[in-house]
Chain A
Amino acid sequence: MFRRVLRTGLGQSLLIRGLGTRSGNSSLGWDGNVSEIKKKIRSLMPGEPHNFLYDTKHLPPEHSDVVIVGGGVVGLSVAYWLKKLEKRRDAIRVLVVERDQTYSRASTGLSVGGIRQQFSVPQNVQLSLFSIDFLRNINEHLAVVDAPPLDLQFNPSGYLLLASEEGAAILESNVKMQRQEGAKICLMSPEQLQKKFPWINTEGVALASYGLENEGWFDPWSLLQGLRRKVQSMGVFLCQGEVTRFVTSSNRMRTSSGEEVNLRRIYEVHVKMDNSLEYQPVECAIVINAAGAWSGQVAELAGIGKGPPGTLQGTKLPVEPRKRYVYMWHCPQGPGLETPLVTDTNGVYFRREGLGNNYVGGRSPTEEEEPDPADLEVDHDFFQNKVWPHLAQRVPAFEGLKVRSAWAGYYDYNTFDQNGVVGPHPLLVNMYFATGFSGHGLQHALGVGRAVAEMLLNGHFQTIDLSPFLFSRFYLEEKVLEQNII
């Protein structure tokens, strides 16, 4: 009875470990016991972490106002803007849960790192403009006392999108829209193209659009580290763990038209530690799904999509991981330092990497040749058969290239319309999405973070209106198709 009280007392579901073996003896020796007692006495001092029963330093706190699932660049950006836009200091408690602290499979670290404004949806252009403005002033935004300034290694070389006869009209209208939004893009005919970039073979190219300013590529890893550092200094709690369960409460309510609807809200998130069964229930008011390629799984855990298909309850979050290969090669006769990120008419792209005649590039596979996203193994035959021939055709110097290395990463691919999902879910009222960017999450992360923070704190989008990206479009079947997917 006493043991039962000990096991279940003092805390709702805190597991008790280390209180002694079944026979009642402690397994530590004399020195171990003495150091345990010293630790307990030290924990009574004000300012020390107060673990009275056992060590809880690795666990997330028992309560947090906002829990952000996913610690990549999107999740950290949401955390940063939440702390930046809160009106009083420490007004809101934010917890970022990241499953893999080495970021070995996260899309952020494996990204090619490009940023461009050449999109077909105006909101995407606005997001990229916002992000580049942030990145240019990054050391004002992400400054931490006593820490060295960030060097993003931004190469402002621009993007060059090539279009054939069929795509030329769409390209022109897109460029007109981008110019209206404030991006500086110029259209080039094949002759101008040949004159500016002599290494290009303009066969099959009818029109090209070239970004003159605010486009290029940067180092995503340093952005991630900079955000981590800044966000920790602002008081956000970063913890390692995997979200395994959402505990929800539901409420039957009636809409204004009279139909009954079941609104749910998450009030507890179970965060499981690595390599153990231990989990911590975190009581929360709001959950943000920024889990990248695995957002679909997290949404299913929360019960989104459990219902008859065709209804709002049955609408799943259509984000799934898609594997993309990136190859790095060396070509001494290749294009020079001014090379932009060139996207060919058939989807092959490449950019310069560093100053030693290295290039990275790849291609999005078609629907039939989609690789299996179970692991991150690279298929080199894909390069041989599908990428190299087109590269060699567009840039004759690339006939003699030598592949140095390759890696694979995930796109958090939105199978519905390849654009991001931002904002709250209509039925699960306190889950906000910031995912599904299908390959341009990195460049939109900062703008999306601000949008989600504004939605949460103010109730509506303020700086950039991302209402076309709400979840309800999946149910209402309103596609916001992005045509310029690389």
Chain B
Amino acid sequence: MLKIIIPSIMLIPMTWLSKNTMMWINPTIHSLMIALMSLSYLNKLDITNQNHSLKFASDPLTSPLLILTTWLLPLMIMASQHHLSKETEIRKKTYISLLILLQISLIMTFTATEMIMFYILFEATLIPTLIIITRWGNQTERMKAGLYFLFYTLAGSLPLLIALIYLQNSLGSMNFLLFPYNKHMLNSTWSNSLLWIACAMAFMIKLPMYGLHLWLPKAHVEAPIAGSMVLAAILLKLGGYGMMRISQLLEPMTNYMAYPFILLSLWGMIMTSSICLRQTDLKSLIAYSSVSHMALVIVAILIQTPWSFMGATALMIAHGLTSSLLFCLANSNYERTHSRTMLLARGLQMTLPLMSTWWILSSLTNLALPPTINLVGELFIILSTFSWSNFTIILTGLNMLITALYTLFMLITTQRGKPPYHISNITPTFTRENSLMALHIIPLLLLTLNPKIILGNLY
């Protein structure tokens, strides 16, 4: 653990003390090394749990998310290079430091052993993200986006704080390792229902669940590219991870308390997929597709079967990489045409063929093509929801169909067709952009060969 945390903390002085010519190269390379270190040391599947210290531990649920976090930082720094090129040096360094701070809080969040520490760091991740969205976003709407983001999450988290403190008082310790041994059954009183809702709401908002998802399209669309990437890839998964942990304490109320949320998510995933079909703004389309995929994760976590937990973990990792990749692709379009409207950037296959390869691969993974891990996740979830209730197969099947429809719609609108006249002078793809896409897609495709490392705790 120390060999990940200390280098991450030291990335900040390294950024500030770098020469201006090395300012981008240093953090990128060093964060890539940290990511490689996290790969090799955090993936011991024969051990159920690795204790790094008294306060930090990792288990097969945590380690894929942790690796995703550390992997994403060099990618975020690479992606931000272009749009920050016109800022002053101090601003650039501030931006990179914010990303690194976010990374540190996320590493600590995912490896925290105490639920209260997890909560504190969960809230702490909000602050750098908020600063990134409101200061470096592109349009005036970013102020509103930041406000929605902050207040939606806070409104859910404050009840969670009270619930956690109550649970700490009644249980004595909120250590994750003790949760499976908890004999304390939640009997069905009104106050216990409120406790259940207080525990669940923050994570539902973060995931986001369909009725509480309004902050997500705003935040994703207005955030700069690094903000969108980290939001889509990691911050949404915080909700899933937290829900998986806390649901061990909420037995047996979850059996019936979860019904409204399951229904809302099942319906919501079809709704948001359908909204994607009518979107004209590329980033907005990808944001709504995130809501749709996360709705599947919510259903899986709430029905609490071994297969569904495996599917949820797998889908979280797969969706993290895919969504982040799609946002990078959308950003490369935006940097060239200065517009997010899909209509204005058509026919790119003719002008940028290698970029269209990345588009095709990312679209194929987004629509859960076999044998990618997206399919593994979705399949496990669909199978477990089918066994939970036969009727859900209609809804999940419909969702898979509509997902395929809107993904192909996005692919064909941006890649095929006759390029409009003003596409004729877009700059060709930079090597940086190509390597960014490759670094997203290579883990995604390699995991196809060995998906058991991302199947989580219950494998």
- Does residue B138 face the partner (Cβ distance < 8 Å to A)? yes
A421-454 vs B, Cβ < 8 Å mask (1 yes, 0 no): 0001000011000000000000000000000000
CB of B188 closer than 8 Å to a CB of A = no
A285 CB within 8 Å of chain B? yes
Measured between alpha carbons, how far is A9 from B424 in the docked complex, in Å? 35
Residue-wise interface mask of A (62-96) relative to B, using a CB-CB cutoff of 8 A (1 in contact, 0 not): 11010000000000000000000011111111000
Residues of A with C-beta under 8 A to B416: none
Quote the shortest CB–CB distance from A89 to chain B (angstroms).
Answer: 8
**A44's contact among B135, B147, B424, B425, by CB below 8 Å, is which?**
B147
Residues of B405-435 at the interface with A, using a CB-CB cut-off of 8 Å, are 418-422, 424-425, 427
Of the candidates B134, B280, B425, the one whose C-beta lies within 8 Å of that of A90 is B280
Let me know if A62 and B140 touch, CB within 8 A: yes
Q: Given A9, A61, A268, A284, which contacts B140 in the complex, CB threshold below 8 Å? A: A61
Q: Once the chains bind, are B418 and A91 in contact (CB under 8 Å)?
A: no
Are B143 and A429 interface neighbours, CB within 8 A?
Answer: no
Q: Report the minimal beta-carbon distance from B263 to chain A, rounded to whole angstroms.
A: 26
Chain A residues whose CB sits within 8 angstroms of the CB of B184 once the complex forms:
none
Min Cβ gap A135→B in Å is 29
Given that A88-B278, A263-B425 are contacting pairs, would A283 and B420 also be in contact in the complex, using a CB cutoff of 8 Å? Answer: no
- Asked whether B144 is an interface residue with its Cβ less than 8 Å from the other chain, the reply is yes
Closest CB in chain B relative to A41 CB, distance in Å = 13
Contact A285–B337 (Cβ < 8 Å): yes
A253 to B426, CA, bound (A): 10
Residue contact B422 to A286, C-beta cutoff 8 Å = yes
Hey, which chain A residues are within 8 Å of B339, CB to CB? 63, 65, 284-285
Residue of A nearest to B277 (CB): A88
Task: Say yes or no: A265 contacts B425, CB within 8 Å.
Answer: yes
Contacting B at CB under 8 A, from A283-300, are 283-286
Which residues in A have their C-beta under 8 angstroms from that of B341? Answer: 65, 91-93, 285
Known: A285-B337, A457-B343. Contact between A62 and B139, CB under 8 A? yes
Give B247 Cβ to nearest chain A Cβ, in Å.
Answer: 32
Whether A458 and B418, one on each chain, are in contact in the complex, defined by CB atoms closer than 8 angstroms, is yes
**Contact of B338 with A284 in the complex, beta carbons under 8 Å:** yes
Question: Distance (Å) between the CB of B429 and the closest chain A CB?
Answer: 13
Given the known inter-chain contacts A92-B343, A457-B343, please indicate yes or no for A63 contacting B138, CB distance below 8 A. yes
Q: How far is the CB of A316 from chain B (nearest CB, A)?
A: 21
Q: How far is the CB of A2 from chain B (nearest CB, A)?
A: 15
CB proximity of A19 to chain B, nearest CB, Å: 16
Q: Which of A89, A263, A286, A459 contacts B419 (CB 8 A)?
A: A459
Give the chain B neighbours of A286 by CB distance below 8 A: 344, 422
Shortest beta-carbon distance from A437 to chain B in Å:
21
Chain B CB within 8 A of A144 CB = no
Which residues of the other chain, B, contact A403 by a CB distance below 8 angstroms? none
Chain A residues with CB below 8 A from B420, complex form: 456-459
Q: For A88, A284, A424, which residue has the most chain B Cβ atoms within 10 angstroms?
A: A88
Do A50 and B144 form a contact, CB below 8 Å, given A88-B280, A251-B427, A457-B343?
Answer: yes
Complex Cα–Cα for A10 and B142 (A): 10
CB contact list, B119-151 vs A, under 8 A: 134-135, 138-141, 143-144, 147
Give the residues in chain B near A475, CB-CB below 8 Å: none
- Chain B residue numbers with a CB within 8 Å of A458 are 418, 420
**Interface range on chain B: under 10, 10 to 19, 20 to 34, or 35 or more?**
20 to 34
Complex interface: chain A residues within 8 A of B425 (CB): 251, 253, 263-265, 429
Closest B residue, CB atoms, query A262: B425
Interface band, chain A: 35 or more
Known: A63-B139, A88-B278. A283 touches B421 (CB 8 A): no
Interchain CB contact (< 8 A) of A91 among B138, B143, B147, B343: B343
Residue of A86, A430, A455 contacting most chain B CB atoms (<10 Å):
A430
Q: With A and B bound together, what is the CA distance between A398 and B144 in angstroms? A: 68
Q: Which residues of chain B are near A63, meaning CB under 8 Å?
A: 138-139, 339
Q: Across the two chains, which residue of chain A brings its CB closest to B278?
A: A88
A91 to B341, CA, bound (A): 7
In the complex, chain B residues whose CB is within 8 Å of the CB of A92: 280, 341, 343-344
- Whether A56 touches B140, Cβ cut-off 8 Å, given contacts A424-B422, A459-B420, is yes
Please, how many angstroms separate the alpha-carbon atoms of A283 and B83 in the complex?
14
A231 to B134, CA, bound (A): 32
Measured in the bound complex, the distance between the Cα atoms of B344 and A10 in whole Å is: 28
Judged by a CB distance under 8 angstroms, whether A103 is at the interface is no
Contacts of B138 in A (CB 8 A): 62-63, 283
Min Cβ gap A18→B in Å is 17
Please name all residues of chain B whose beta carbon is closer than 8 Å to the beta carbon of A93 when the two chains form the complex: 341
B322-362 vs A, CB cutoff 8 Å, 1 = contact: the mask equals: 00000000000000011101111000000000000000000
Residue contact B278 to A52, C-beta cutoff 8 Å: no
A267: CB under 8 A from chain B? yes
- Which residue of B has the minimal Cβ distance to A458? B418
Shortest B173–chain A CB gap in Å is 41
A65, A87, A264: which has the most chain B beta carbons within 10 Å? A65
* B-chain residues with CB within 8 Å of residue A253 when the two chains form the complex: 425
**Residues in chain B near residue A86, CB distance under 8 A:** 343
Beta-carbon contact of A424 and B280 below 8 Å: no
Evaluate contact between A52 and B338: CB separation under 8 angstroms.
no
Nearest-neighbor residue (CB-CB) of B88 within chain A = A8
B418 touches A459 (CB 8 A): yes
A9 → B minimal CB distance (Å) = 7
Q: Give the chain B neighbours of A56 by CB distance below 8 A.
A: 140
Contact A285 B338 (CB under 8 A): yes
List the B side residues contacting A267 at CB < 8 Å.
Answer: 338
Residues of A within 8 A of B140 (CB): 11, 50, 56, 61-62
A residues in contact with B338, CB < 8 Å: 267-268, 283-285
Check A265–B422 contact: CB distance below 8 A: yes
Report the Cα distance A267→B337, complex, angstroms.
Answer: 8
CB distance from A287 to the nearest CB of B (A): 10
Q: Is the CB of A263 within 8 A of B424?
A: yes
A:252-288 near B, CB below 8 Å: 253, 263-265, 267-268, 283-286
In the bound complex, residues from chain A placing their C-beta under 8 Å from that of B139 are 61-63
Assembled-state Cα–Cα distance A10/B144 (Å): 13
Across-interface contacts of B144 in A (CB, < 8 A): 50
User: Assuming the A-B contacts A50-B140, A284-B338, A457-B343, are A429 and B147 also in contact, with contact meaning beta carbons closer than 8 angstroms in the complex?
Assistant: no
* Inter-chain contacts of A285 with B (CB < 8 A): 337-339, 341, 344, 422
Contacts of B280 in A (CB 8 A): 88-92
User: Which chain B residue lies CB-closest to A287?
Assistant: B422
Interface residues of B in 249-275 (CB under 8 A from A): none
B86: nearest residue on chain A (CB-CB)? A12
Q: Which residue of A lies closest to B344 (CB)?
A: A285
Q: Which of B143, B344, B419, B421 contacts A455 (CB 8 A)?
A: B421
B143 touches A50 (CB 8 A): yes
Smallest beta-carbon distance A25→chain B, Å: 26
Nearest B residue to A48 by beta-carbon distance?
A: B144
- Could you say which of B139, B143, B421, B427 has the most chain A C-beta atoms within 10 Å of its C-beta? B421
CA distance A267 to B83 in the complex (A): 13
Residue-by-residue, is B303-339 near A (CB-CB < 8 Å gives 1, otherwise 0)?
0000000000000000000000000000000000111
Interface residue ranges of A444-480 to B (CB < 8 Å): 455-460
Residue picked from A61, A265, A285, A458, most chain B C-beta under 10 Å: A285
List 11 A–B pairs whose Cβ atoms lie within 8 Å, in order of A's numbering: A9-B135, A50-B140, A52-B143, A267-B338, A285-B337, A285-B344, A286-B344, A429-B424, A455-B421, A459-B418, A459-B421
**B interface with A by C-beta (< 8 Å):** 134-135, 138-141, 143-144, 147, 278, 280, 337-339, 341-344, 418-422, 424-425, 427
Q: Which residues of A contact B (CB under 8 A)?
A: 9-11, 44, 50, 52, 56, 61-63, 65, 86-93, 251, 253, 263-265, 267-268, 283-286, 424, 429-430, 455-460
3 closest residue pairs by CB, A with B? A285-B339, A263-B425, A91-B280
Q: A89-B280, A267-B338 are in contact. List 20 more A-B contacts (CB 8 A).
A: A50-B144, A62-B140, A86-B343, A87-B343, A91-B342, A91-B343, A92-B280, A93-B341, A251-B425, A283-B338, A284-B339, A285-B339, A285-B422, A286-B422, A424-B422, A429-B424, A430-B422, A455-B421, A458-B418, A459-B419
